[in-house]
């Protein structure tokens, strides 16, 4: 049962800043000013930071050990109430900081008023948000690792499964399904690197910067930084409360990764279509139609594709909010949390759904192999053979292969179905040996250069990726 709250406090009664004001707050001002509807998500970080702050104040003899113990015990109780659903959040108290502090005051009385010594809501929210974003980064990194594991497993199983490789969505050269999966392993690996880089840069503690200029109290910022898992305290008090590049960088990492997820989702949508039939998703990741009973819609992939727009929009929103703000803090910065929370939620859902689809999808090996053989996909192999065997320059070999493609088109056959006489009508130096390179299997097997699509390469890549990332 939610605890009872007293009458909504007026501006004059507000323990935070009521002493300066005698009039009441307009209802619309209360509505636009309050952030508790969304920053309540920061309760754990807010309490964690307050505990570290109280313990530091006591260690520095700024408050008594008795008061510090009462504060810490009371904060743990507040956290328990919130997690048990027994806490009533008040919009009149504006934000998570004052909601927590108000309840703490109800629990322990006068000592609660000492907690805010040597800090401001400016450095407090900067701390809370850094802690939250740091945790979100760790969760994103772990989720992306799970996606990599799913991709690597598919790559290992399908290292030999031939499929068409595309440029311009036109058949280009044969590749393998495993190699295609490993391409996304590389992309996701770079995404994880961006998240880790962002984490390293944000891992400085702003607590102690106070409102903007620091404090005259003999605080120990290194102690609080260490107790909260930061590498060091921030070096400049103005920057400490004004900076939001840490969440902008988080959103940028989310946006780039979401773009990669969207590309894979788009391919899954295409591959599942009746026109391609490259892969099949089970009922677990598809939906039906209310009117067309034959339909199996890849809705999970479509929604992952759409989430990218939402996430990128959050990045744009925060960049636009921050671009014109002078130092240090402006209430505009209250608008940083909703887009960040929304983007983090959308990103987590998109990664989880993508990992599920990757594990679920079943490649259609026969269809993939047949598609790889279409579109004269071994034309480059023919040109390469001419360079290696006849010894002509590649540009000349390119023309020879192009003429062979034109002849095959005229005859309505693939390159491998041309006769030796056909090839020699183009260049008399071509021998029967050319037919060894005109199958998709030979084409794929020949791509042994580092990073190439040869099945042996794919297996080596998969082993290396497991060792590097999982």
The residues annotated with a catalytic role in the active site are 168, 289
Burial class (CB in 10 A: 0-12, 13-18, 19+), 40: middle
**Cα–Cα distance for residue pair 157/412, rounded to 1 Å:** 35
Reduced to 3 states (helix: H, G, I; strand: E, B; else coil), residue 442 is: helix
List Cα–Cα distances, 438 to 373, 379, 381, 416, in angstroms.
9, 8, 7, 5
Of the candidates 300, 225, 315, 212, the residue with the CA atom closest to the CA atom of residue 261 = 300
Reduced to 3 states (helix: H, G, I; strand: E, B; else coil), residue 290 is: coil
Two tokens at 426? 């183009």
What ranges make up the beta strands (E) of 219-370?
A: 232-233, 279-280, 362-363
**Angle (nearest 5°) at CA 272 between 267 and 278:** 80
Note whether 92 and 17 are within 8 A (CB). Answer: no
Length reported for the chain: 470
Could you identify the residue written with the tokens 């120990």? 220
Of the candidates 317, 344, 337, the residue with the CA atom closest to the CA atom of residue 126 = 337
Reduced to 3 states (helix: H, G, I; strand: E, B; else coil), residue 210 is: coil
**Angle (nearest 5°) at CA 143 between 334 and 254:** 40
Of the candidates 262, 273, 457, the residue with the CA atom closest to the CA atom of residue 364 = 273
- Please name the residue ranges forming H helices in 230-298: 237-242, 245-272
Tell me the DSSP string of 82-108.
HHTT-----GGG-SHHHHHHHHHHHHH
**Angle (nearest 5°) at CA 389 between 383 and 392:** 60
**Cα–Cα distance for residue pair 272/87, rounded to 1 Å:** 48
Of the candidates 188, 27, 56, the residue with the CA atom closest to the CA atom of residue 117 = 56
Tell me the DSSP string of 93-162.
G-SHHHHHHHHHHHHH-GGGGGTTTT--HHHHHHHHHHHHHHHHHHHHHHHHHHHHHHHHHHHHHTTT-E
């Amino acid at each position: 049962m939610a605890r009872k709250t007293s009458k909504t406090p007026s501006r004059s009664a507000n323990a935070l800043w009521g002493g300066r004001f005698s009039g009441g707050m307009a209802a619309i001002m209360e509505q636009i000013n309050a952030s508790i509807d969304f920053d309540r998500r920061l309760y754990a970080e807010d309490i964690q930071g307050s505990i570290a702050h109280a313990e530091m104040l006591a260690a520095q003899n700024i408050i008594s050990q008795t008061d510090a113990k009462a504060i810490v015990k009371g904060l743990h109780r507040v956290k328990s109430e919130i997690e048990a659903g027994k806490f009533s959040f008040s919009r009149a108290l504006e934000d998570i900081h004052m909601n927590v502090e108000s309840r703490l005051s109800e629990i322990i009385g006068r000592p609660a008023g000492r907690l805010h010594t040597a800090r401001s809501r400016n450095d407090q929210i900067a701390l809370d948000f850094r802690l939250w974003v740091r945790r979100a980064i760790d969760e994103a990194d772990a989720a992306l690792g799970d996606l990599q594991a799913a991709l690597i497993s598919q790559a290992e199983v399908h290292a030999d499964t031939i499929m068409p490789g595309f440029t311009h969505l036109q058949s280009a050269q044969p590749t393998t399904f495993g190699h295609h999966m490993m391409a996304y392993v590389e992309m996701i690996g770079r995404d994880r690197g961006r998240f880790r880089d962002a984490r390293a840069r944000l891992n400085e503690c702003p607590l102690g910067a106070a409102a903007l200029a620091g404090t005259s109290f003999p605080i120990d910022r290194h102690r609080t930084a260490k107790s909260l898992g930061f590498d060091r305290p921030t070096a400049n008090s103005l920057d400490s409360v004004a900076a939001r590049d840490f969440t902008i960088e988080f959103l940028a990492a989310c946006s780039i990764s979401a773009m990669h997820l969207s590309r894979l989702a788009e391919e899954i949508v295409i591959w599942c279509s009746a026109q391609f039939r490259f892969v099949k998703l089970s009922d677990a990741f598809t939906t039906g139609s209310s009117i067309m009973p034959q339909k199996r819609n890849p809705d999970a992939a479509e929604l992952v594709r759409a989430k990218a727009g939402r996430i990128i929009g959050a990045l744009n929103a925060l960049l636009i909010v921050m671009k014109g703000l002078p130092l240090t803090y402006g209430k505009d910065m209250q608008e940083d949390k909703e887009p960040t929370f929304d983007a983090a939620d959308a990103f987590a859902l998109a990664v989880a759904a993508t990992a599920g689809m990757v594990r679920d999808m079943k490649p259609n090996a026969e269809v993939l192999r047949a598609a790889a053989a279409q579109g004269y996909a071994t034309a480059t192999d023919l040109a390469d053979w001419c360079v290696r065997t006849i010894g002509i320059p590649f540009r000349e070999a390119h023309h020879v292969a192009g003429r062979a493609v034109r002849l095959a088109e005229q005859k309505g056959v693939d390159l491998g179905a041309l006769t030796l006489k056909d090839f020699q009508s183009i260049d008399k130096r071509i021998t029967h040996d050319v037919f060894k390179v005109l199958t998709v299997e030979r084409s794929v097997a020949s791509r042994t250069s580092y990073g190439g699509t040869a099945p042996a390469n794919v297996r080596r890549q998969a082993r290396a990726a497991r060792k590097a990332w999982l």
